[in-house]
Amino acid sequence: MPDCLFCSIIKGDIPSHKIYEDDETYAFLDIFPVSRGHLLVIPKEHAENITEGSHAAAIAIMRTVHHIAPKIMAVLGASGYNLGMNHGVDAGQEVFHTHMHIMPRYKGVTRAFEKTKPEQSELKEIADIIRSGLLS
């Protein structure tokens, strides 16, 4: 899909703070996170939303979430996480490529869903920490 932001990220045409990649999925930090370590898991197969994509792509997203979420929690010291997926404009979907949000949560920190805009250097630091934890 030539005009798809996430397809361009997968191809490497647009930079991202990649956390994880396999044959079917790509995970990277959200540039407007609602929590420290908030990231997106996307299928490499383009579809506007989960019901328009293949069953295999939907399973691949959850397989990746299952694999990386506990490791992200451990390395960042999170005590929980939210999963989120917006389907359609009225649900808040802004990028029309299927994606699952993993939003780490921390004890004593109010759970909010307000976007922030950290510096790229802060995102790079968080990405480096998460990637190092995924390797162990």
Q: Give the confidence band of 136 by pLDDT, cuts at 50, 70, 90.
A: low
**pLDDT average, residue stretch 71-89:** 96
Query: DSSP string of 35-78?
Result: STT-EEEEESS--SSTTTS-HHHHHHHHHHHHHHHHHHHHHHT-
Domains and CATH numbers, the chain: 5-135 (3.30.428.10)
Please name the residues in contact with 85: beta carbons below 8 A apart, sequence gap of 6 or more.
Answer: 50, 98, 99, 100, 101
Q: What is the mean pLDDT of the chain?
A: 95
Q: Is 99 a catalytic residue?
A: yes
Q: Give the confidence band of 2 by pLDDT, cuts at 50, 70, 90.
A: low
The predicted pLDDT at position 19 comes to: 97
Q: Is this structure's pTM higher than 0.85?
A: yes
**pLDDT average, residue stretch 42-56:** 96
Q: Give the confidence band of 133 by pLDDT, cuts at 50, 70, 90.
A: confident
Q: Which listed residue (17, 38, 97, 99) is catalytic?
A: 99
